[in-house]
Structure 1
């Protein structure tokens, strides 16, 4: 109905959602404001459409609950004939993301926004031509393939074993598990290694607070203090019953969201604390290769002589999130356990992606690609630091990251971050507030210099500056 009146288009849209089962009985439909924004009309037009649907007996307004679907379009079946999906959704084991995180995830697919939040490389840095060559080579040499062995494609694990030696980690292919990104690695650990009621110690702030990987499995998150050298082990408060019910998670290289690089001394202190208190460590090292000024210290896993560290790596930040390839390195009994759970979950990561990843490593082109990425990230970081000094000096404080994607900004004037977020989004700018990372004190935001173009980075930061001045005035 492209030429029908707007209110008729809204009616047809809602009827199709109901008829197709996308909005079953009991569903709360979008607010009048959301519908008005979606169809670019005023609210009176939306109200006209809703009144007609109410008259048809399809929806009704309920005090305190919004507007609810009460019948379906083709037979007006009684409500009890349709499953109450809301109860199933509420009863699910995995906790939903926070509302703000859901909004950000949706907004990050909106190409019209200036993406100051996105934690991935710009399309400009994606090696499209080389990736095409890799895939063509894999396709040319490809035989019929089915499910891989539980730990993953052996040539990829062999290539990773060699690659890991370059950062001081000596791991045989049998102690490496291929996973579909770092997030799956954490999910497998939550399911297979920890029991409900366990404590997960972690940096605070941390991107894990924006997820519910461990909380959904009934675990308690215990945030730890950080300084300019990283997580502070003396802030860990162990109790006697934690000996088999606690684990430490840390993101030591260019931490998300703060960009902090953990010092060599601090890594040694954390490892010593781990050994003293029998506390296992999850070392999430997905940003390691994105150093700008100098290579980071060796991983804790490289210093681990007692099998206390589970090490996570990934191609998602350095190459392509769409490849969906990451890895876990750990003691063989742990890897066996996690590989069994992975087989129960998805029967293995993509065979094609694993072969392409192996080709990147064995060809030597991955290291060349990383050199180019580091050069471009340095240009982008320095550009953004210049813009920040020009536009936000006196309005915000920040540290210079030595690598990674992010600059952690502390906003100095007293402003409402919720209002700043909403005003920025209305002007086409998306940033991540510090609150979603568990930052409880002060007003912070995470700014990414990796994805948006330099032109958009300057435009976005300039407009942020204007909004902060307006809101604090």
Structure 2
């Protein structure tokens, strides 16, 4: 047998065996008139457990390639080609072989479990339903009929919305930019995907914060990039770490979230922002600034973004309405040099022929109205109330078992457990008790952390959620 298992590969051994046999059948190396190698023979030949070979044959049997008969061994299926000479695709293998990677199993589990309406959801990074501007939207629909053209819109997004966002960025964040330098996207997530797919190539090195939301995204790995970590502290990353990484790996792009960072909630000082821009200009490294939270600053003082201070066009700025208005509206945007925006717009047009006009119309009407400013004041106040409630609950139920920094904006709180337990067992136990959070390892290499989202739950649910969490924690420590 001229076949060797690759024991260093991520593909399980039984799948390698199944693929070898399937290929042998399709190429005629295995005769349909003779039984296939026995489980015992294959196991001895390949030096694996017999159960591994059994699993391989089970997979082939499940897709109709082989038949297994007690006493006579395993044979190529007599109906492998079907009555019309057609084979059933091995969809399982197609699903696994795609270049676009699936979410981590733990992330999938959290999303599945949080669909339960009885679950107190302190995991999902969004606003609670009572913080959505539902009444304001209703008044827009009632007072102003929708009369927009329902065909394809401009590849960069509706021009009126881009002009409104341009005014919004100047009024709230001091960013002076024209509509031609803006691309409307389906939230910030699509913006990140477009940047990665269009501006980088397989093998490129990128720098991301640790911990960070970017760490949880498999889009870098799907694109064949090499992500390197920038350790973060209470003041964010040390900019000079970018220089060290660049010298070793030739960093092509840096991804950072300077304001109320996800998951830590920290805000980067002005001096570090200025240093990042200096490094970007010195080495010609583009910076992607993800800014979903700065406008939520509880005191109303929005810090100077990197884009606001960017005199050279080195920063690609991403923001959205997902964390400040409604996640389901799916309105985000990228600000950058016009040639970059045109490139990204071309890619977006290939993917979805441009953004839907209806949510763009709603967003334009709302952002451009006095109701938007009223809404922002409301969520700043309400988020501060919820953050205070979460802090009180953690102190009350966990005491000196945990430590955390209180963010001054955003929707997340990063909590360190002083005597860590297995965070995956803790999640399982918490889910059983009806509360969800995100284990810290999803966001980086540090152990013993959890992220609680206070923007998604009411104050009452926050108190009850931490009560349930503490009981799950004590249960595991008791064991």
Q: Same fold by TM-score, threshold 0.5 exceeded? A: yes
CA offsets 1:258-281 (integer angstroms, 9 cap, x no match): 111111111111111111111100
**Using a 3 Å threshold, how does the CA distance of structure 1 residues 77 and 117 change in structure 2: closer, same or farther?**
farther
Distance 1:169 1:414, change over 3 A: closer
Cα deviations by residue, 1:355-403 (Å, 9 ceiling, x for unpaired):
1111012212211111001111111111111111111111111001111
Q: Does 1:144 align with 2:136?
A: no
Runs of 4+ in 1 over 6 A off after TM superposition: 65-69
Q: Note closer, same or farther for the CA distance 1:62–1:337 as it changes in structure 2 (3 Å cut).
A: same
Counterparts of 1:416 and 1:125 in 2: how far apart (Å)?
34
1:130-166 per-position Cα deviation (integer Å, ceiling 9, x unaligned) = 112223445x141432111111100001111111112
Residue equivalent to 1:158: 163
- 3-state SS of paired residue (2:450): strand
2:383 aligned with 1:377, yes or no? Answer: yes
Give the 5 Å matches for 1:21-420.
63-64=54-55, 70=62, 78=79, 81-137=87-143, 140-166=145-171, 167-236=173-242, 237-239=244-246, 246-420=252-426
**Shift of the alpha carbon at 1:240?**
5.8
Deviation at 1:242, TM superposition (A): 5.8
Q: TM-score, normalised by structure 2?
A: 0.81
Could you say if the C-alpha distance between residues 403 and 67 of structure 1 is closer, same or farther in structure 2, counting changes exceeding 3 Å?
Answer: farther
**Structure-1 separation of matches of 2:474 and 2:435:** 16
Q: Deviations over 1:266-324 (max 9, x none)?
A: 11111111111111000000111111134232100011011000000100110011110
Distance 1:77 1:300, change over 3 A: farther
Per-residue CA deviations over 1:2-38 (Å, capped at 9, x if unaligned) read xxxxxxxxxxxxxxxxxxxxxxxx9xxxxxxxxxxxx
Please list the CA deviations of residues 313-368 of structure 1 after superposition, one character each: whole Å capped at 9, or x if unmatched: 10011001111000000011100111111101111111101111110122122111
* Cα RMSD for the two superposed structures: 2.2
2:450 to 435, 445, 453: 445
Q: 1:424 to 1:272 in 2, by over 3 A?
A: same
Distance 1:65 1:112 in 2: 40
CA contact 1:115–1:430 (8 Å) conserved in 2: yes
Q: Determine helix, strand or coil for the equivalent of 1:247.
A: strand
Q: Is the 8 A contact 1:197 1:218 kept in 2?
A: yes
Distance 1:71 1:223, change over 3 A: closer
Q: Does the CA-based 8 Å contact 2:119-2:436 persist in structure 1?
A: yes
TM-score normalised by L of structure 1:
0.82
CA distance in 1 between counterparts of 2:447 and 2:62 reads 45
Q: 5+ residue gaps in structure 2?
A: 1-17, 19-51, 65-76, 82-86
For 2:135 and 2:99, locate their aligned partners in 1 and report how far apart those are by CA, in whole Å.
Answer: 42
- Rounded Cα–Cα distance in structure 1 between residues aligned with 2:248 and 2:435: 47
Q: 1:93-144, CA deviations, whole angstroms, 9 ceiling, x for partnerless residues?
A: 1111111011112222221211111211111111212112223445x14143
Q: Distance in 1 between matches of 2:361 and 2:380?
A: 25
| Change in 2 beyond 3 A, CA 1:152/1:77 | farther
Check conservation: 2:433, 2:472, Cα contact below 8 A: no
How far the C-alpha of 1:66 sits from its partner, in A, is 12
Of residues 315-324 and 361-370 in structure 1, the stretch that sits farther from structure 2 once superposed is: 361-370
| Pair 1:276–1:455, CA change in 2 (3 A) | same
Structure 1 or 2, whichever has the larger Rg, is 2
**Structure 2 contact 210–231 (Cα < 8 Å) conserved:** yes
Listed as ranges, the gaps of 5+ residues in structure 1 are 1-25, 27-60
Distance 1:287 1:145 in 2: 32
SS in 2 for 1:171: coil
Number of the residue aligned with 1:52: none
Distance 1:91 1:386, change over 3 A: same
Q: Matched residues in 2 for 1:242 and 1:162: separation? A: 39
CA distance in 1, matches of 2:215, 2:427: 19
Contact between 1:190 and 1:214, CA under 8 Å: does it hold in 2?
Answer: yes
CA distance 1:408–1:149, shift in 2 (3 Å): same
For 2:127 and 2:53, locate their aligned partners in 1 and report how far apart those are by CA, in whole Å: 45
Aligned to 1:435: 441
Aligned match of 1:47 = none
CA contact (8 A) 1:414 1:472 kept: no
Q: CA deviation at 1:458?
A: 1.1
How far apart are 1:174 and its partner, in Å? 0.4
Shift of 1:466: 2.3
Q: Distance in 1 between matches of 2:305 and 2:186?
A: 22
Shift of 1:83: 1.0
